[in-house]
């Protein structure tokens, strides 16, 4: 059996193919956004249990004998973690968080499943958040817009992957103020590899874009910390901007940062005035960086340059 790979790519690059692909990828992104932070937290607690059990390390670092009960605490924590149901992006099957009902395949159809169920669990009638179908619909619209931007060329699929990772990272950062290395680092490497293969930018532009993206926010972070003694942003923002530089090139970084800063400030002030931003909390910067990157991608470098008055 001979597979017409070029024909398959052309079919996927068609607007209808991209819309259907976007709905399916959006459904998977909902899983990633929900489970990846939980997987990260489980890993952190596992590391805590190992540290508590490391009596030699305690003596070496703190210069004192471990406190009474630390070993028992480590054993209790390890037992609790080992008793949890294994959690990954593919397993276990999706369930209703209220009643534990296993979601059947026809209930899990992107967008259609939610509409058919009228936004409620079929078993307990608990509401299913509207964000699930919204993520699926937004992903589909993004994929179609990217296909239009690249004229249906197969390279559009590459940029769809870029957009999907940015969307997942944005939602996780908004929910948890975390930008997982499991998303930002592969995105940066993928940008460099795509450039090396001649699919996006010249490799030199991608490389210097990644370097400039990381060092720019890294420098701002340390300048702010040395001046105020406080952390102004997380290290995930450096890695995300490095990834954007690897895909979009160094010339797009300043427009992305400026746009993200202005919109982020407006949103933050609005949330503060409305009481939506709790005391001691802050608005994550990652979603605005990602949004700026998507705008730069969809607008194209020539239009962005005109907006900035550089062309």
Report pLDDT digits (tens) over 154-188: 899 999 999 999 999 999 999 999 999 999 999 99
Q: pLDDT band at residue 234, thresholds of 50, 70 and 90? A: confident
- What's the pLDDT score for residue 13? 67
- Tally of CB atoms within 10 A around 67: 11
Average pLDDT over residues 262-274: 85
Which pLDDT value is given to residue 169?
Answer: 97
pLDDT for res 2: 45
38-52, 146-160, 273-287: which has the highest mean pLDDT?
38-52
Q: Which candidate, 165, 151, 153, places its Cα nearest to that of 25?
A: 165
| Interatomic CA distance for residues 220 and 234, integer angstroms | 11
Section 258-283 average pLDDT: 81
Is the pLDDT at 43 greater than 90? The verdict is yes
> pLDDT band at residue 233, thresholds of 50, 70 and 90?
confident
pLDDT at 265: 86
Confidence of residue 82 (pLDDT cuts 50, 70, 90): very high
pLDDT at residue 4 in the model: 62
Q: Residue 11 pLDDT more than 70?
A: no
**Whether the predicted pLDDT of 103 surpasses 90:** no
Question: DSSP class of residue 105?
Answer: G
Supply the pLDDT for residue 185. Answer: 97
Q: What percent of the chain has pLDDT over 70?
A: 95
Q: Which pLDDT does position 308 carry in this prediction?
A: 85
Going by pLDDT thresholds of 50, 70 and 90, the confidence category of residue 1 is very low
* SS3 call for 95: strand
Average pLDDT over residues 12-27: 88
Return the DSSP state at 126: P
Cα separation, 54 vs 59, in Å, equals: 9
Mean pLDDT of 238-252: 96
| Local confidence band at 232 (pLDDT 50, 70, 90 cut-offs) | confident
Tell me how crowded residue 211 is: count the other CB atoms within 10 A of its CB: 14
The predicted structure's pLDDT at residue 279: 60
Q: Is the per-residue pLDDT at 9 higher than 70?
A: no
**pLDDT averaged over every residue in the chain:** 90
| Confidence category of residue 145, pLDDT binned at 50, 70, 90 | very high
In angstroms, rounded to a whole number, what is the distance separating the alpha carbons of residues 31 and 13? 24
Residue 3 has pLDDT above 80, yes or no: no
């Amino acid at each position: 059996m001979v597979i017409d790979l070029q024909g398959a790519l052309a079919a996927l690059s068609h607007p209808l193919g991209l819309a259907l692909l976007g709905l399916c990828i959006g459904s998977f992104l909902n899983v990633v956004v929900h489970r990846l932070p939980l997987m990260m937290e489980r890993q952190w607690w596992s590391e805590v249990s190992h540290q508590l059990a490391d009596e030699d390390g305690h003596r070496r670092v703190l210069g004192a004998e471990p406190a009474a009960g630390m070993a028992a605490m480590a054993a209790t924590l390890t037992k609790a973690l080992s008793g949890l149901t294994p959690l990954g992006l593919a397993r276990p099957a999706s369930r209703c968080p209220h009643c534990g009902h296993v979601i059947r395949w026809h209930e899990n159809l992107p967008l259609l499943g939610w509409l058919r169920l009228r936004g409620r669990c079929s078993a307990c009638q608990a509401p299913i958040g509207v964000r699930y179908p919204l993520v699926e619909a937004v992903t589909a619209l993004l994929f179609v817009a990217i296909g239009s931007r690249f004229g249906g060329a197969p390279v559009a699929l590459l940029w769809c992957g870029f957009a999907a990772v940015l969307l997942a990272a944005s939602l996780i950062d908004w929910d948890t103020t975390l930008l997982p290395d499991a998303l930002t680092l592969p995105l940066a490497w993928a940008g460099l590899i795509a450039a090396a293969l001649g699919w996006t930018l010249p490799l030199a532009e991608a490389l210097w874009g990644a370097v400039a993206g990381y060092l720019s926010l890294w420098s701002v972070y340390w300048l702010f910390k040395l001046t105020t003694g406080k952390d102004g942003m997380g290290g995930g923002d450096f890695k995300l901007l490095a990834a954007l530089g690897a895909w979009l090139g160094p010339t797009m970084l300043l427009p992305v940062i400026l746009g993200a800063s202005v919109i982020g400030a407006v949103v933050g002030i609005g949330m503060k005035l409305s009481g939506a931003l709790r005391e001691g909390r802050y608005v994550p910067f990652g979603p605005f960086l990602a949004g700026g990157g998507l705008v730069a991608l969809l607008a194209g470098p020539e239009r962005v340059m005109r907006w900035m008055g550089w062309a």
